[in-house]
Structure 1
């Protein structure tokens, strides 16, 4: 009698599935791949990797079904077709590094650790700067100088249009019904979290002021500013919205959950970790398909790559890849000596600049040196006069 085989298949971050092979283990990797694709409803080409106990359970490419047994863990790595031939190759995102894994020693590691995303970003090969737009999980810009009120639902826009017309012709203010108010607050909250999950009081002011400026019919009677009630409602809405994001696993909010507080402290308000003014990507989620284990393996590879000469492109690629797990460590406020031992590449001049851009989306050298040049020019004119 054939014994069924149970396998745990990792499909991505926080996404795994159990596969049961009723007829036992297939004799070939191709047959196993087809069975997993069928049970997990997977589309496209992919390869399988297994946890190799000889290498501290790091994931290695599966070459033979004899490597796995009942209750083994496999990981799915999606592939993309090569433009040169029909054989599938692993997709490596080169948009951040300007170079894929160019050295033979690194190519195997990247092949084993980097999980492809369904979409491919295209940038010029000469660009080695970090591009937040290449990852859907990263914020792309800081809080805007002028907050733009988004378009709301179709029926909400119709009501506001009618209200604005009545305000212009008769000076009549609109008293929004609950449904309209919910639509407005939901729209504003979704727009705000594109930039910040924890806005400051001034940013709440800016958002509410922009609302009544675009829709003057929403101004409040008896309010000095005309929007103090909207500001209070928006704060309450963002609080509820953060709860929703926390339940969905948003790392920037989850880091402040009660379970992450020190032992014996159950107050959610204790030591809340928020981004500073310039920090856009304060606590980003891991890249799609990556987990702490795979990113920790990237960090270990980085320790070897940083020792090589003329290896800046590979170091940059690995530093970009491991950005999220590094930020999670920084937020926990580690000792500098320990952090330097774990991330020696970060203490290079070029990586300090790159890390600044990853966090703020603003180039460090061009921004601050341009300001210094401007100041020096003014000083030269002053002395000349």
Structure 2
């Protein structure tokens, strides 16, 4: 189909940490067909599509019919979630990630034996719960010992435990030690599940080779839990990063920023950067008119840049970013 025909489409595909331009020679036959095309951009996730609806001043609506999509549109990717709990996470199929040598148990999850002092506390706590229905209060270290051992046992079965696996482990924990049930909790184990999820992310971040896709899915699924922590506990930035060390990963920081205020941080920064380019170019060209080593280097860069602009219609942004590198200014 010829360029500029009525069916040609230009789309801006917005992800949590970046946005990309997608040109299509024709309108896809269905939403599923469009999703398949977008997945070719190396988006290995299940997602729904929202579009900025011109009938509602650009407000986002879920795309229900491919014919609703204007020829020039902005699409937003909404990662599909498979759990309604506060700390739900995208499930992983058993075939998605490498397994450990031990196969997943056919019955209930085998709750490990904890440290000596913790086991004593649990024994006494279970007895007290049996008599008076009293919930056990643990110290931070005791709770950490339980979480580390649960996570270690999970990893003994699977390198990347799923949401279902972690739920099963939390259920088994409170079934074996009923004193650990949470007062006021509908399930009695949801807090342990959330803590195990966080421990799982924490352990993955510490690895030499990090599985970024696994972390991305886990962080997406636990966003509401982090928001709840911030609202209720108001931790400092350092405390929050200690709880969620994946926020030190640049892509996760960008994604978190987007989920909070719906702004793409790198695009915003580059946009402000680009607004200064005309003035920077003027200053650099003034420098070229002088003599010396720096002026000669700038002249060579400008010559290369001008030729490239004529040939490829490149913008100025990349050019300006390269200048400090050539001049050893950073």
Higher helix residue share: 2
TM-score range, shorter chain: 0.3 to 0.5
TM-score (norm. length: structure 2): 0.34
**What TM-score do you get using the length of structure 1 for normalisation?**
0.29
